[in-house]
Amino acid sequence: MTTSSAEADREEPWTIRRVITWATEDFRKRGVSTAPRLEVELLLGIVLKLDRVGLIIDADRPLAKEELARYRALHTRRRGGEPVAYLTGAREFYGRMFRVDARVLIPRPDTEVLVEVALARTRALYLSAQVLDLCTGSGCVATTLARERPTTRVVGTDISPDALAVARENALRLGAVNVGFLRGDLFEPFNQPRARARARFDLITSNPPYIPEGEIASLPVDVRAFEPGLALKGGADGLVLVRRIVAEASAFLDVGGVLAIEIGAGQAPDVRPLFERAGFRDIESTRDLGGHERVVSGVRG
């Protein structure tokens, strides 16, 4: 699909089948992806407005020059490491499609564990819980909790106005009418005396930046070069914001309220003592599908 193949292009049209075959092999050869065919089909489907079944049915249809040019542009960007979610503009999370771009961290399946823990540990309050989601990013956790519990009230905070714009768009598009978003550093929006008096929550969740500074350079290129550093960097040991959240959360939780935080693999032994020193009880660590302790949660005493 390069200029050097112009003569071959004239002899053989670039059908859907041919594009998928060539592009899949190109990604595989370059080590771009662990699922090269799937990524090619996703990108080509965006260009042609076809799902995977449609690509199979129309496999022998030649691409128009404009379609081929648009696919080549996406292919080149992916070859350079740009995440597929940014190229397609969407990522599924907890069964819903969230819009994402370079302003926000891409939602991961591991973060669904945070939602599951939050729902499980507040089951008795499913009709009336007051929920706060810190470092809300794309709003995937806040919006999911709002949709799963339509009678609760959810607030998400983030320091990034760009991230909040994405979060608000996702909540609106997904019909989460019981969620709102505020700009500020963690609990900052509630630190005024009047706001603090009203800011008592049954549940606080957070997926804060938790990657140690020294590990950023070793992350895959699609993460370190494209996703927002503000959503990744957790200080020297990755726990700078985690410490703040655990230390400050009790002031905003009702007695019996739950704090649940997503953490990095291997950080649980350092995080559980933070919960203990802050007076939390019934502290639990919950593992993700990879077997890593991914969420630490506890109940305010």
pLDDT score at 6 = 54
Under DSSP, is residue 146 helix (H, G, I), strand (E, B) or coil? helix
What is the spatial distance between Cα 107 and Cα 262, in angstroms, rounded to a whole number? 12
Answer yes or no: CATH 1.10.8.10 is held by domain 3-80: yes
pLDDT digits (tens), the chain, 301 positions: 655 555 555 568 999 999 999 999 999 999 988 899 999 999 999 999 999 999 999 999 999 999 999 999 999 999 999 999 999 999 999 999 999 999 999 999 999 999 999 999 999 988 889 999 999 999 999 999 999 999 999 999 999 999 999 999 999 999 999 999 999 999 999 987 665 556 799 999 999 999 999 999 999 999 999 999 999 999 999 999 999 999 999 999 999 999 999 999 999 999 999 999 999 999 999 999 999 999 999 999 8
pLDDT score at 126 = 80
What is the spatial distance between Cα 89 and Cα 232, in angstroms, rounded to a whole number? 20
Q: Which two tokens stand for residue 200?
A: 């008592």
pLDDT score at 195 = 59
How many CA atoms lie within 13 Å of 230's alpha carbon, on the beta-carbon side? 13
pLDDT score at 192 = 73
Q: Which two tokens stand for residue 183?
A: 């700009």
Do the bridges between strand 90-93 and strand 96-99 make them parallel or antiparallel, or are there none, so unpaired? antiparallel
CATH 3.40.50.150 range(s) for the chain read 95-300
Q: Which two tokens stand for residue 176?
A: 């989460």
pLDDT score at 99 = 98
pLDDT score at 194 = 61
DSSP 211: B
pLDDT score at 1 = 61
Kindly report, residue by residue over 165-179, the tens digit of the pLDDT: 999 999 999 999 999
| Torsion angle (degrees, nearest 10) of CA 249, 223, 238, 92 | 30
Instruction: Give me the DSSP letters along 47-103.
Output: HHT--HHHHHHTTTPBPPHHHHHHHHHHHHHHHTT--HHHHHTEEEETTEEEE--TT
pLDDT score at 32 = 87
CATH 1.10.8.10 range(s) for the chain read 3-80
Strand order in the sheet with 201-206: 179-183, 153-158, 130-134, 201-206, 253-262, 293-300, 280-287
CA-to-CA separations, 46 to 61, 90, 93, in angstroms, rounded: 16, 11, 19
CATH topology of domain 95-300: Rossmann fold (3.40.50)
